[in-house]
Amino acid sequence: MRNNEIAQLLRRALLEGGAMVHALYEYELKEHIDHWYKGLKKDHDDFVFVVTENAGHVAMLLIMADKTVYINEEAREKLQAAWPDTYQHNLQLFIPVMADDLANGFISVNGVRTPAAVRNALSRKNRRGGNVSERRE
């Protein structure tokens, strides 16, 4: 699939609220969580979000510093919460790069550091029982 086709799929899934496929998460992303978490810790990131595309389907995960894992739509919601004023703008910048990675056979992995105020707000939401899809120990 070409970059512009993948970019359109990513726009639909990430910017327009399109559906994502859990089976694709299971097939391409789930087994790498520990590896990406180790990278998050090594790089001192606050979270990492990962996006993949296969056969016209998109899947996403977001791993928090406490190893909480959000999948697909919940990952998108958590990323929107992390970037309340800049989500659309940031994703418009990320999508061409992610599409290029995916078109070249690589899963798109993006580590993020957030300002302290955002980090604290996200932590409070997690403690209050945010929408956790899966917690890995």
% of the chain at pLDDT higher than 90: 79
Average pLDDT over residues 114-131: 54
Asked if the model's pLDDT at residue 88 lies above 60, the reply is yes
3-state secondary structure of 19: coil
Predicted confidence at residue 113, as pLDDT, reads: 86
> Could you give the CA distance from residue 97 to residue 1 in angstroms, rounded to a whole number?
15
Predicted confidence at residue 136, as pLDDT, reads: 28
User: Burial letters for 76-93: b for 16+ Cβ neighbours within 10 Å, e otherwise?
Assistant: bebbeebeeeebeeebee
Q: Which of 1, 97, 8 is nearest to 54 (CA)?
A: 1
The pLDDT mean for the chain works out to 87
Predicted confidence at residue 2, as pLDDT, reads: 92
Give 113 or 62, the one with higher predicted confidence: 62
Give 122's DSSP letter.
H
Give 134 or 60, the one with higher predicted confidence: 60
Predicted confidence at residue 123, as pLDDT, reads: 60
Asked if the model's pLDDT at residue 55 lies above 50, the reply is yes
> Could you give the CA distance from residue 47 to residue 42 in angstroms, rounded to a whole number?
12
Please count the other Cβ atoms lying within 10 Å of the Cβ belonging to residue 51.
28
Q: Give the pairing type, strands 68-71 and 57-64.
A: antiparallel
pLDDT band at 125, cuts 50/70/90? low
- Is residue 52 within 8 A of residue 58, CB to CB? The reply is yes
Identify the residue whose tokens are 């512009």.
4
